[in-house]
Structure 1
Amino acid sequence: MYKKILLSLITVLAVVSGAQAAGNEWNESFNKAKKMLERQVYYDHRVTLYCGAVFDEKKNVTLPEGFTAAKHIKRAKKIEWEHVVPAENFGRAFAEWRDGNAQCVDNKGKPFKGRKCAEKANREYRLMQADMYNLYPAIGAVNAARSNYNYQMLPDEKPDFGSCGMKIADRKAEPPVRARGQIARTYKYMAAAYGPRYQMSRQQTQLMDAWDKMYPVDAWECTRARRIKALQGNGNPFVELACQNAGLW
């Protein structure tokens, strides 16, 4: 019994240690990441993260019954690839995003900064931006409304999208129950793989730890992680270990 416990502990430590060392190390293209997800990961499970909406190979969405959107109506017709950990949340750790770079000058000679500059001038940023573990399909209108807001419980708010259950208020977002476990394990992966470039606040860490425990993996989350690992070359140990414990790996 003692040996089994010791072996389990060693396995956990090895897995978590690996997460701290390994993020996306080869694909620098956000567009390539989206295409691989569309064609090689989600090809038989075209369902959005937040609302569970079905979409086709051309990214056209079949909106769930009862879904409503007050803004970004045109974007509700298509899915978009959402950074669960917003690009801005890790992008601001890069000087190119904050201050610009000598490479970041447009064709009129005007300097620029922000996301475009970080993407142009910093390979590390491009790798983080293209990490497929952090990219999920979302109805475009939901992606637009969520923006770069952090997740938080909003018990006094009503859902912004009818039957979908996504809540947004005061620059915060509360995702539906169906998405919380996947979100938590994505946040934990990004913090482990890309620290100190990306770090969670104490409050965010506590929330993600709670969601990780409350909302376990399912077969699709495990399948998704296996496929991304085969394509990207590194694993998400927070998903893998949970899948192994659930007999889904």
Structure 2
Amino acid sequence: MRLTYLSTILLPFLLTTQTAANGNEPNTTNQSFNKAKKSLESSIYNNHRETIYCGAEFTEKKKVIPPPGFETAKYIKRSKKVEWEHVVPAENFGRSFKEWRDGHSSCVDSKGKSFKGLRCAKKVNTEYRYMQADMYNLYPAIGAVNALRSNYNFTMLPSSPSSFGSCQMKIDNRKAEPPIAARGRIARTYLYMDSTYPRYALSKQQKQLMTAWDKQFPVSKWECTRAKRIAAIQKNSNLVVQSRCQNLSEKIIY
């Protein structure tokens, strides 16, 4: 009973207190990944249905309209549907949880077999669920691109060709290079997660790259609008994006 109380009542307070020094407060409103996806579909992207990497349109029923020249040799069925991508992969912060690495006494299936990883962390750890459901880290992506990107870190791959035809998303040797149009949003998402959740920390190399992309690729009106809409639902602000939006001279329309 005491553990349940701590998880449901005290954890949001503790998370907020931990991150107050960094400015950003974490998601303590919704711990359901499915609910987060539904909110994104109905209230955030309802009039801006475009995927992050390839700029593909998608319908209200999540059917993808691929851009001309888009190609994929794998995950053909998934290429026809939009999926919600963790830009900072769930595994990258999930590994910091003991339940992900080692399992838990509660993580036993109907056949008595123990399990760990995402499934166990999601079942047992409330903090993990809040991080997994943080909408600032969730973006629509063509299913095949989401699948092939996997949990790979972003980097520059100058000698690698596009992995998806006209969509300039490159995946090679367990690394990924996103198209130019996505780099700023990706960078500010990584910087948000790094400054918000004590469990997640960018490596020195990744932080240098994301800081550079943040400066090279400024926010758009849509990125500012998206952050405003998420803040209204999730009840915490993305101060990384918010501070960049203050420099926009154009009026933001919501």
TM-score, with structure 1 as normaliser: 0.92
What residue identity is the alignment partner of 1:245? N
Measured against aligned partners, the alpha-carbon deviations of 1:85-115 in whole angstroms (never above 9, x if no partner) come to 0000000000000000011010111110000
How far 1:211 sits from its partner (Å)?
0.2
Q: Which residue of 1 aligns with 2:63?
A: 60
Are 1:17 and 2:22 counterparts? yes
Measured against aligned partners, the alpha-carbon deviations of 1:133-153 in whole angstroms (never above 9, x if no partner) come to 000000000000000000000
Residue in structure 2 matching 1:241, options 237, 240, 243: 243
What residue identity is the alignment partner of 1:18? G
Q: Which residue of 2 aligns with 1:3?
A: none
Tell whether the 8 Å contact from 1:16 to 1:237 is kept in structure 2 after alignment. no
Q: Which residue of 1 aligns with 2:133?
A: 130
Question: Alignment partner of 1:245: what SS?
Answer: coil
Q: Which residue of 1 aligns with 2:163?
A: 160
Are 1:198 and 2:203 counterparts? no
Q: Which residue of 1 aligns with 2:216?
A: 214
How far 1:74 sits from its partner (Å)?
0.6
Supply the distance in 1 between the matched residues of 2:21 and 2:98 (Cα, whole angstroms): 29
TM-score, with structure 2 as normaliser: 0.90
How far 1:16 sits from its partner (Å)?
8.1
How far 1:17 sits from its partner (Å)?
3.4
Question: Alignment partner of 2:40: what SS?
Answer: helix
How far 1:246 sits from its partner (Å)?
1.1
Aligned length in residues: 232
Measured against aligned partners, the alpha-carbon deviations of 1:146-180 in whole angstroms (never above 9, x if no partner) come to 00000000000000001110000110000000100
Q: Which runs of 4+ in 1 moved over 4 A?
A: none
Between the aligned residues of both structures, percent identity stands at: 64
Supply the distance in 2 between the matched residues of 1:95 and 1:245 (Cα, whole angstroms): 41
How far 1:231 sits from its partner (Å)?
0.3
What residue identity is the alignment partner of 1:33? A
Supply the distance in 2 between the matched residues of 1:237 and 1:172 (Cα, whole angstroms): 28
RMSD over equivalenced CA pairs, Å: 1.1
* CA distance 1:16–1:221, shift in 2 (3 Å): farther
Tell whether the 8 Å contact from 1:16 to 1:238 is kept in structure 2 after alignment. no
Are 1:143 and 2:143 counterparts? no
